[in-house]
Structure 1
């Protein structure tokens, strides 16, 4: 078993675990269930967490250079080792974005558009969940419902920032910082994609017009040449006929 083979085999099971985690975590946060009523959701969260830990351990074991792989994936270890910071758990949903990217199709622009839309939607939803989880039980917080959290996440990721809702807790502000950085990155990709599309469209139109003009110019040149060649052919034919008519000289 190689690392690449394990990653291929575990791709969809990890997606299922991520979706299970997202659903259970969403119920925990949005419904704000007491410990007794939310025991089942907490059990599902920890079951998904166990799958993440297993996947991390197997990938570390199968890595060709474990020391290098460990250093390059310290962020995953931090996420797994700090379960008390519940919003950090949402970073495990990057698994979903990887699958969306790999299944987005063969056309580069289609893959880019689908990946950006999927990433933006996931960031808005997860950012709203993270902020609500951190803020809703603080008596001084102004993000108290999931609707408030979604509105805040949308205005934050688009860099609008109305200021009517904002996080006041440390964890909530860290979530806001991550969402702002991610929003700039997503908007940058969208802007670059639109600019690339416009440049390609203008280039295609310019190339088409240039081809038409070139073809017209060649037609204008070809017509006189054809007439000249036809006239020369007729002269050669007449001279040949005249020589044949005179016959050989004695």
Structure 2
């Protein structure tokens, strides 16, 4: 069960102060990780070490933010973990760190009196961004561990992107599949996220269509002369 109580003022101020640094750390982690994976064999070891250090530094920002918010919340560790499950998972799993960019953007938009996008448009937009970020991060992770594995079918980053797309879409052609333990664990996570996020997009789009048709019917009833029914001759 989530904690619905208001945040302490100090934690609220800290959250606002860290919105931009966390967004930058998310983008920096994704960029550094991408360069480390894609630059393997082409960039010098010094550049790869530098990018790895940048990615680790961005992870340290998440750890510090998590520890400070745990301290300011006044909650016990277990209760804080239950009420901040996404933050906990993001700290532990590098694959999900880019998703922080979407959640931070959503929090910034919620502070406006009127969001720029409607409810259904926000759900579809944020779900689409999350799918794109997760797909890219998942493709990087799988490519990193699969490219040199014995018996691997994912040899290029293009193969990995194709695998990520068909996995997120729950198609699963089976032409390319991960064979390493880390690759398969990543595949399970990508499949679960793909089902959840695409289901959210499909449900929101269906609800939007139903509401649009309902508004059209209501407007048609208002314009129809009194006593004139759709079936009247």
1:59 corresponds to which residue?
Answer: 69
Q: Deviations over 1:162-214 (max 9, x none)?
A: 1111101111111111111111112211221221122112212221222233x
Partner of 1:149 in structure 2? 160
Match of 1:110 among 103, 115, 121: 121
Return 5+ residue gaps in structure 2 as ranges. 1-8, 110-114, 229-233
Structure 1 match to 2:31: 23
Give a deviation string over 1:87-139, Cα, whole Å, max 9, x none: x3122223112023333734212211211211111121111112112212313
Q: TM-score, normalised by structure 2?
A: 0.81
Bigger CA radius of gyration: 1
Length, aligned pairs only: 211
The partner residue of 1:50 within 57, 60, 67 is 60
Aligned to 1:99: 104
Indicate yes or no: 2:208 matched with 1:200.
no
Give the drift of 1:79.
Answer: 6.3
Q: Which has the higher contact order (CA 8 A, sep 6+)?
A: 2
Whole-angstrom distance in 1 between the partners of 2:96 and 2:83: 16
**Partner of residue 239, structure 1:** none
Q: Which residue of 1 aligns with 2:176?
A: 165
**SS of residue paired to 1:132:** helix
Cα pair distance change 1:144/1:109, threshold 3 Å: same
CA distance in 2, matches of 1:106, 1:163: 38
| Structure 1: unaligned runs, 5 residues or longer | 82-87, 219-250
Q: Which residues in structure 2 correspond to 1:118-157 (within 5 Å)? A: 118-157=129-168
